[in-house]
Amino acid sequence: MLCNLGTLAATLLVFVSAFTATQASPTQFILNGKEFSKTKQNDPVAADAFDYRSIKAGPQVAPLFPGDGEKQADSVFSGITTFATLPYEKCLSNKDVSFDIAIVGLPFDTATSYRPGARFGPGGIRQGSKRLLLYGGYNVPLSVNAFTSWATIVDCGDVAVTSYDNALAIKQMEDGHKSLLHRPPAAASALPPNSLAAQFPRVISLGGDHTVVLPILRSIASAYGPVSVIHFDSHLDTWEPKVFGGEKSTQAAYNHGTYFYHAHKEGLIKEGASIHAGIRTTLSGPGDYDNDALCGFQIIEARDIDEIGPLGIAKKIKQVVGDNLVYLSIDIDSLDPAFAPATGTPETGGWSTRELRNILRHLDGLRFVGADVVEVAPAYDTNAELTTMAAADIIFEILGMMVKHPLV
Ligand SMILES: [Mn+2]
């Protein structure tokens, strides 16, 4: 009874908030004590007034609680390994499988400049994620349990990627991502009609070297047009091919240090509203930063955390992307090698896992259309699986934020 009253009160609050907001002027309004202004591209009134807890759809219960009378040994430490023990669905070969959030692996690593091995990243991250549901999956700082929410979350396995032909592999990843993105979400009928959430599910990709983001952004643009990008990395990844040793052939120009250069040239990134965070790479010269700005990015250096703290970093990121639709790409090398040694191009002087997760949680409320964690190369990890665990926990934070904010 109390629960029902609580639900009723929450529902009424949503209606009252929405009603209050509609009474304000068409361009400026105040909601929950915050001042908003509308833009053509989005409507924060609807986004903020919409309470994800009121959506009645999806699993509502965790897919698995270990030790709870199961018929066979599918505990967190046994059974077939999927991301966070989520159900495995053959989404890539069956268009009828529906979901709201898909986990998919992109086991591609034939465009790396230093250490190869990220083709084993998807498998490694799944292994590192086994413990996520041990206690039920509730995210305390975000106050959400993605696994018992309205959202149907599944592990779609990996896109079949050739390791012999990069151009073909990039096409395979684009086609695979598009096939997941362009299908009705599972909770479509329970979400506000005509909302983005009712049109497109969201995909979280497990890399793979960072080149995988080029086919992902091509797919994202096919649904949403150009989007803002938040890019956590120790490297710029906007290098011109000639700077990054990629001028030898057409195909060599497409690698894990140049994919953002190409994405910019192809118009996949919203001009001037994207940002790198965690940068500490050496450069060919200061001109690399000029080229980076031409590609539409602003920069937060890793060392900035000493002056402005995690909160200051999150604040700057939010200022840059605003209310735009945002794609979130996280190179695990944004973490210090002490916390994530298993990566393609490690750089010392990075953030701790705690700091990065804190920064991410302060981005709660942004309009994420999709995300990835890339450059996890498990062969260089410690026996304690530090890197793969960090990657899995980062995705745990992203899942929480996505579930709290369906794209209205
Ligand atoms: Mn990178």
Cα(361) to ligand 1 centroid in Å equals 21
235 assigned to a ligand binding site:
yes
Cα(237) to ligand 1 centroid in Å equals 6
Q: What is the mean pLDDT of each run of 10 residues along the chain (408 residues)?
A: 45 42 40 43 48 80 58 73 95 97 98 97 97 89 95 97 98 98 96 93 98 98 98 97 91 97 98 96 95 97 98 98 98 98 98 98 98 98 97 98 95
Q: Would residue 286 count as lying in a domain?
A: yes
Residues 115, 224 share a domain:
yes
Domain that holds residue 19: 2-49
The pLDDT, as a whole number, for residue 256 is 98
Residues 87, 45 share a domain:
no
Q: Would residue 96 count as lying in a domain?
A: yes
Cα(238) to ligand 1 centroid in Å equals 10
Cα(368) to ligand 1 centroid in Å equals 19
Residues 297, 162 share a domain:
yes
Q: Would residue 217 count as lying in a domain?
A: yes
> Which ranges in 24-56 belong to alpha helices (H)?
44-49
331 assigned to a ligand binding site:
yes
Residues 239, 133 share a domain:
yes
Q: Would residue 75 count as lying in a domain?
A: no
**Residue bearing tokens 């592999």:** 169
Residues 90, 36 share a domain:
no
245-to-111, 147, 166, 211 alpha-carbon distances in Å: 12, 44, 16, 15
324-to-146, 204, 229 alpha-carbon distances in Å: 23, 19, 10
The pLDDT, as a whole number, for residue 64 is 58
d(CA 160, CA 173): 8
Q: Would residue 71 count as lying in a domain?
A: no
The pLDDT, as a whole number, for residue 82 is 95
Residues 261, 355 share a domain:
yes
Q: Would residue 54 count as lying in a domain?
A: no
Cα(210) to ligand 1 centroid in Å equals 5
Residues 394, 345 share a domain:
yes
210 assigned to a ligand binding site:
yes
Residues 31, 123 share a domain:
no
d(CA 82, CA 122): 10
100 assigned to a ligand binding site:
no
Q: Would residue 69 count as lying in a domain?
A: no
How much is the pTM? 0.87
Q: Would residue 70 count as lying in a domain?
A: no
Polymer length of the chain:
408
Residues 315, 391 share a domain:
yes
Residues 399, 329 share a domain:
yes
The pLDDT, as a whole number, for residue 233 is 98
Cα(100) to ligand 1 centroid in Å equals 27
Cα(106) to ligand 1 centroid in Å equals 15
Cα(81) to ligand 1 centroid in Å equals 26
The pLDDT, as a whole number, for residue 37 is 45
Domain CATH number, residue 155:
3.40.800.10
Q: How many independent structural domains does the chain possess?
A: 2
The pLDDT, as a whole number, for residue 26 is 40
304 assigned to a ligand binding site:
no
Helix (H) or strand (E) holding 227: none
Residues 329, 250 share a domain:
yes
Residues 316, 192 share a domain:
yes
The pLDDT, as a whole number, for residue 221 is 98
